[in-house]
Amino acid sequence: MFEIDGKLVSLDVIEKRFICNLTACRGRCCVEGSSGAPLTDEETKILEGIFEKIKHRLTPEAIAAINEQGKWITDSDGDKVTTLVDKGPCAYAVTDGNLVKCAIEMAWKDGEVDFQKPVSCHLYPIRIKKYAGFDAVNYEEIPLCYEATEKGERLGVPVYKFLKEPLIRRYGTDWYEQLCLVADEWRKQKGNVKL
């Protein structure tokens, strides 16, 4: 691991390769898992504020789950997360053809809201865990994303390069530029080419 401005970053973030392969996984990350997408305190307020603007995109089952549980919930670990439908898919996940997509992001793309989606979703498969005094920034390698890791390996794209936009969204351009410098230096030390 290495530290950049109070964020401890796993070496996997710069060493592993990844390119999301939506045609292969069909958005199963929005459907599988034991908990909803992690939310910041600010994002819980945003969900409260935009719900009526995105409600028309949601399934009747999702609306029922949200009416019963809330627009977000606290999971068994004490984290604020998106609501799930019957302990399954995210309530904000919708089927579009043969793909599962985020209703929030669809509304954002159509100019209905100014919030793209939870940053934890945007950053996936990077997971950020907050601790007292620092964030842990880790790459989560899971079987669900096998095709994405294979595609990233084939095309030589590191996780941090693929997730440039959400990393900047979360920590800012200066932080991301420092990450790139660290990655370049790490590769030089290992005798690899610059990425």
Task: Decide if 20 contacts 74 (C-beta within 8 A).
Answer: no
Q: Which of 18, 21, 23 is nearest to 152 (CA)?
A: 18
Strands 72-74 and 7-9 come out as unpaired
Strands 134-139 and 126-131 come out as antiparallel
For 181-193, how does the pLDDT look when each residue is reduced to its tens digit (9 = 90+)?
999 998 888 875 5
Whole-model pTM?
A: 0.87
Rounded CA gap, 121 and 127, in Å? 9
| Per-residue model confidence (pLDDT) at position 192 | 59
For 54-85, how does the pLDDT look when each residue is reduced to its tens digit (9 = 90+)?
999 999 999 999 999 999 999 988 899 999 99
| Per-residue model confidence (pLDDT) at position 84 | 94
How open is the CA angle 22-116-14, to the nearest 5 degrees?
60
Task: Decide if 194 contacts 187 (C-beta within 8 A).
Answer: yes
| Per-residue model confidence (pLDDT) at position 188 | 86
What is residue 114's DSSP assignment?
A: S
Q: Which of 4, 97, 80 is nearest to 43 (CA)?
A: 80
pLDDT above 80 for 195: no
Rounded CA gap, 154 and 163, in Å? 17
For 101-118, how does the pLDDT look when each residue is reduced to its tens digit (9 = 90+)?
999 999 999 999 999 999
pLDDT bin (cut points 50, 70, 90) of residue 143 is: confident
